[in-house]
A and B are shown apart, each in its own frame.
Chain A
Amino acid sequence: MDIEYRRNDKIIRRKFYQYLVPTVLMVLAMQFGSLADAIVIGNFLGDGALSAASLALPVVFLVEIPGMMIGTGASIIGANFIGKRLIKEASQTFKLAMFLSFAVSLIFIPIGALAGDAVAKLFAGSFVDLAPMISQYIQVYAYQAPLLGIGITLAYFLSSDNNPNLGAAFFAICNVVHIGAEILFCRFLDISVAMWGVAASTGIGMLAGMLVFIPYMKSKRRVVDLKIPFKGSFALVKPLLRAGSSSGALTALLFVYSLVLNIAAINFLSDLEMPLYAMLTNFSFVVDIFVIGILQIMPSVVASLFGEKDYFGVRSVCRRVFLLAMGTTVVLTVISIAFPQLFFTIFGVDLSALQAGLSIDPLFVVRIYCISFLAYTGNKFIVYYYPSILKNAPAVLDNAVRVGLIGPISVFFLMKFLSISGFAYGAIIMEVATIIIVIVFITIAKRVGKYTGKGLLLLPSTSKNEAQIDLSIPAKEEEISKIIEDLQHYAFEIGKDEKAAAMLALASEEIIANTIAYGYRFKGGSRYIDVNLSRTEAGLLVRIRDDGVAFDPTNYVPGDEEEMKFHGIEVVRKVASDFKYLRLLNTNNTIMEIALAK
C-alpha cells in the first residue's frame, strides 16, 4: 500500500526537548554530590584523605544495601498497590519499609563500634597512615546507617506515591546540605578528626532531605495514610524483599567490586599512585553528571511510547538520546584527553609530585582511562533502555557482568601486572567487554526465539507490517478532505470492511478537525498530527496524537438541546465501540476502536 503521509518525529522531538532540560537539571542536582564530595575532600584535606575516602568506599555500598533493597522494593510494590487504589496495603508497605530499613541498618552500629578499627586496618593494608582516617569514616558511616536506610527508603517511596518531584527534591537538598556541611567541617575541623565530619555530612544531608516529608504529608496526591495500623504488615515482607532484590544485588555487587579494587590498590600500588587511583575512581561521576540526565529520559518517555506501541516514537527518542549522550561523552573525552591536568586541579592532587616520582606519566594514565568513557556511556544506555521496553535481562546482565565479573577480574589482574596503568586499561576492557557480552546475549536470545524484534533495540518492525500504519499528517484545514479520504482508504486496506472504514474516517475527522480548529489555533510553526491505525481482534484501532491545547474529548458534556445529540463528539461515541483519552508526555492521545463486521 502506498502511504503518502510518512510518519515523522516532529511531535516526539518537541516533547523530547521539553523533557530533556528539566531532567538534565534534576539529575545534575542529584548527581553532583558524589563528584563534589571527592573534590571537597581532595582540595581541603589533601591526597591522603582522598585516598582514605576511596578505600572506605566498600563500606558506603555495604551500608546502603538495606536502604536500596527495601526502598526500591517498597517503591515497586507500593506503586502497584497505589495503582490498584489499595490504600491499606500501600500504607502498610510504607510503614513496613521505613521500619525494616531502620531496624536492619541498626546492625551496622555495633559492627562499626567493635570492628571499625580492625576493618580500617584491613582496608588500609600497607598504607598504615591512612588507617585512622578510614576508621573515622567507616565508624560514622556505620552509626548513621539507620538514618541512611530510612532516608533512601523515603525518597524512593514518595516518588512512587505520586510525588516524583519530592523524590528528586530529597536528593537535591541532600546533596547541597551534604556538600555545604562537608566544606564547613573540612574548613574548621582539625585534620586529625576531619574525616568524622566528612562522613557525618552525608547523614546531615539525609536529615535535611527528609524535610520533604512535610510537603509530602500535605500533598493532595499522596495515597498513603499513616493512620492505618501497622498490624498485619509483616505479610508484605517477602514480596517487598523480592521486588527489591535486583537493586539490593546490584549494590551488593558494587560492594564486592569496590572491595576487590581496594585489595588490588593496597597490594599493587605505591604511595604516589594511590591519590591518582583515588582520583580515577571518581571519574565515572564526571560522565554521570552530564550523561545520566539525558539517559533518564528513557524510563519515562520511551516506556510511555512503548506502552502505546509507538515503535517509531521509541526509535526516534532512542536515536536522539544515544546521539546526545554519545556526543556529550565524545566532547568530555576529547577535553579530558587534551587537558588531563584539569582533573588534578579539580581534585586537588599534586601533579608535579606525581610526575617527579612515578615512572609512568600520570597524564598518560588519565588519558587512557578517559578512553573508557564512550563504552561506559554505552553500558549506561543498555541499563536505562532495556527496562524501558520491559526487557530487564540485558540490563541485569550488563550490571552483573560489568561490576560482578569482568570489572573485578580485569582490573585486579591488570593492576597486578601493570600497576596504576592497569587500572586504566582494566576500565576500558571492563566497559567494552561488557557491551560485547550483552550484544552476544541479545543475538543468541533472538536466535533461540526468546527475543523478537528488529536489530539490537528489539522493537517490532512497522515498515512492512500491513496490520499497522503509522503516519503524520499536516495540521492544515485545506487538507482535511484528502487526509480523511486517505485514512478511510488505509482503514479499508487493513480491515477489508467498507462500513467500518467509513466509521473510522467519520470518528477520526471529528478529532482531527477539532485539533486543527482549536487545539493548534494559537500554536505557531508547522504542526502535525500523528495517526496510528492498526487491526485488533475485534476491530480497527486508531490513535490520534497532537501536542496542541490539552483537551479530553471523552469528558465532553454536550448541552441538552436536541441538536447536541449530533455534535461531533456525540457522533464519535455512537460509531466507536471504544473511546479513550490519554494525556501522555503532554500530548493529547485519543484512541478509538471501530468494530468490524463479524
Chain B
Amino acid sequence: MNIFKQKNGTTLEVKLEGRLDTVTSAELTASLEGEEGFTDIRFDFEKLEYLSSSGLRLLFAYRKKLGGKEHVILVNVNALVAEILRVTGFNQQVTIQ
C-alpha cells in the first residue's frame, strides 16, 4: 500500500493507494505515529481497494483521539469501500464527504 501524507494547516491529509488490511494497517499506524500538531485527519480513499476491520479500528482510534466524527473525514470514497462502511455501520462514526 502506498501512503501519501501532507500537512495542511491543522489538517493531516492522507492519501491511500491499495489495500488497508491487517498488515498494512500496522504500517499506516506506524507511519502516522510520528505526526503531531493536527486537529483533523482527512483520508482520500479514491484509490483504496479494500478496507479491513483493522483499518476500521485505526479510523476509530483517530475519531477517539481527535474528539469526534467531525475530525475524521473521508473523501472520494469509492463504491466498494462505501459499502464496507455502510454494512459495518462505520459510516455513522466518521464524516464522509
Contact = CB atoms under 8 A, between A and B. Distances in A.
The contact size tier of chain A is 20 to 34
Given A502-B50, A571-B53, A481 B84 contact: no
B87 A498 contact: no
B80 interface: yes
B60 A563 contact: yes
B53 A506 contact: yes
B91 to A, nearest CB: 12
A447 B82 CA distance: 52
Given A503-B84, A563-B60, A574-B87, A568 B54 contact: yes
B22 A509 contact: yes
Interface string A567-579: 1100110110000
Contacts of B53: 506, 509-510, 566-568, 571-572
B80 A485 contact: no
Nearest to A512: B22
Given A481-B24, A503-B87, A571-B88, A563 B64 contact: yes
Contact of A575 (B19, B79, B88): B88
A499 interface: yes
Contacts of A478: 23
A565 interface: yes
A260 interface: no
A484 to B, nearest CB: 6
B84 to A, nearest CB: 6
A263 to B, nearest CB: 74
- Interface of A, helix, strand, loop or mixed by DSSP: helix
Contact of A480 (B23, B57, B83, B84): B23
A565 B92 CA distance: 12
Contacts, number: 72
Nearest to B83: A499
A552 interface: no
A576 to B, nearest CB: 10
Interface in B79-97: 79-80, 83-84, 87-90, 93
A129 interface: no
Contacts of B24: 481
Nearest to A576: B87
Contacts of B51: 506
Contacts of A498: 80
A481 B19 contact: yes
Nearest to B79: A499
B87 A505 contact: no
A502 B85 CA distance: 12
Interface of B: 19, 21-24, 50-54, 56-57, 60-61, 64, 79-80, 83-84, 87-90, 93
Per CB-CB distance, the 9 closest pairs between chain A and chain B, nearest first, are: A571-B53, A568-B53, A513-B22, A481-B23, A499-B83, A566-B56, A574-B88, A509-B52, A566-B60
Given A563-B60, A567-B57, 15 more contacts: A478-B23, A481-B19, A481-B21, A481-B23, A481-B24, A502-B84, A506-B52, A506-B53, A509-B21, A510-B53, A513-B54, A566-B56, A566-B57, A568-B57, A575-B88
Interface of A: 477-478, 480-481, 484-485, 488, 498-499, 502-503, 505-506, 509-510, 513, 563, 565-568, 571-572, 574-575
